[in-house]
Amino acid sequence: MKIVTIIGARPQFVKAAMVSKQIRKEIKEILIHTGQHYDINMSEIFFKELSIPTPDYNLNIGSGSHARQTGLMMIGIEDILLKESPDAVLIYGDTNSTLAGAISAGKLNIPIIHVEAGLRSFNMQMPEEQNRILSDHLSSFLFCSTDTGCTNLRNEGILNHVYNVGDVMCDAVLKYSQKAEIHNRKYYFSKLVSILQNEIQILDEWYLTTIHRAENTNKDMIKTILDALNELDAPVLFPVHPRIKQLILDSEAQSCYNNLVFIEPVGYSDMVYFTKNAKKVITDSGGLQKECYILNTPCITVRKQTEWVETLIGNHNILASPNKQDILSKVLDTEIDYLTHPSYYGNGDAAQRIVAIIKKELERNH
Ligand code: UD1
Ligand 1 close to Cβ of residue 60 (< 6 A): no
In this prediction the pTM is 0.96
Point out the residues of the chain with pLDDT beneath 70.
252-253
Q: What is the pLDDT of residue 181?
A: 83
Quick one: three-class SS letters along the chain? CEEEEEECCHHHHHHHHHHHHHHHHHCEEEEEECCCCCCHHHCHHHHHHCCCCCCCEECCCCCCCHHHHHHHHHHHHHHHHHHHCCCEEEEECCCHHHHHHHHHHHHCCCCEEEECCCCCCCCCCCHHHHHHHHHHHHCCEEEECCHHHHHHHHHCCCCCCEEECCCHHHHHHHHHHHHHHHCCHHHHHHCCCECCCCCCCCCCCCEEEECCCHHHCCHHHHHHHHHHHCCCCCCEEEECCHHHHHHHHHCHHHHHCCCEEEECCCCHHHHHHHHHCCCCEEECCHHHHHHHHHHCCCEEECCCCCCCHHHHHHHCEEECCCCHHHHHHHHHHCCCCCCCCCCCCCCCCHHHHHHHHHHHHHHHHC
Q: What is the pLDDT of residue 251?
A: 72
Ligand 1 close to Cβ of residue 95 (< 6 A): yes
Q: What is the pLDDT of residue 156?
A: 98
Residue nearest to atom 19 of ligand 1 (CA): 37
Q: What is the pLDDT of residue 253?
A: 64
Ligand 1 close to Cβ of residue 42 (< 6 A): yes
Tell how far the Cα of 214 is from the centroid of ligand 1, in angstroms.
9
Q: What is the pLDDT of residue 180?
A: 86
Q: What is the pLDDT of residue 256?
A: 87
Which entry of 212, 241, 341, 366 is annotated as an active-site residue?
A: 212
Q: What is the pLDDT of residue 364?
A: 87
Per-residue pLDDT tens over the stretch 119-155? 999 999 999 999 999 999 999 999 999 999 999 999 9
Query: Active site includes 366?
Result: no
Q: What is the pLDDT of residue 47?
A: 97
